[in-house]
Amino acid sequence: MPDSICVPARINFIDNTHRGVSLRHDLTEIKTVEHILAAINGLGIDNLIIEVSAPEIPVGDGSSQVFVELLKEAEIICQDEYESKTSIKILSPIWVSTENSHIVVLPSEDYKISFTLCLEDSFVGSQFASFSISPEIFEQEIASARTFGFLKEVEQLKKQGLAMGGSLFNTVVIGEDNFLNSLRFKDELVRHKILDMIGDLSLIGRPIQGHVIAVKSGHELNLNLARKILGGGIPCSNRTWVFINQVY
């Protein structure tokens, strides 16, 4: 953008979490960053400059798939510094909650996300999925899961200037008693929630070694967890952060 400045993809540059995550640095704002950040983080990329020609990341097909394909086409380079990049290792439980939504992250040997989606007021009901996050699993099982929304909300969203580019191509639309389009996975909705969480937690700036368990979470709670992880960590070496005897 003309006269724009660099906006770091970090937690302290978050501007808005309504229907997506926006980052801002001074007067420069970039909207809907979660899907491209999920692709970058899901593929294990941690050194990248993204240039955009508008204040919002392209929606693509509503998933991370187009970004994964472009990143792989461009080729991913393993740099000399790769082995020394730091990670955050969870050694004691950390959790955040609201009245109806909850997340806890527990010690684990790898990065794992388990998510329960509950849409009680629709035919969808509940969906559950759990994956250990690796580049292979992300590409095969998560990246192509599209965002979703209710048909009854469309008009109201458009009045707010939201979902203006929404279509049956880039959004799974939930009708009164069925989906208006075909699903890529029978549990595509909860897989997309995991995709969003990967993008949100990437704003921590370091890989996580822990098991994230979420129930009915959204962007704001995901990012509250990220803030709590960063607020509770202590560096113990050049490669790992740990959490010791902490009760939340």
List the catalytic residues.
219
Nearby residues of 47 by Cβ (< 8 Å), 6 or more positions away: 79, 81
Q: DSSP letter string over 88-142?
A: EE--S-EEEE-SS-EEEEE--SS-EEEEEEEETTSTTEEEEEEEE--HHHIIIII
CA atoms within 13 A on the CB side of 90: 27
- What does the block give as tokens for 90? 């969870």
End-to-end distance of the chain based on CA atoms, in angstroms?
42
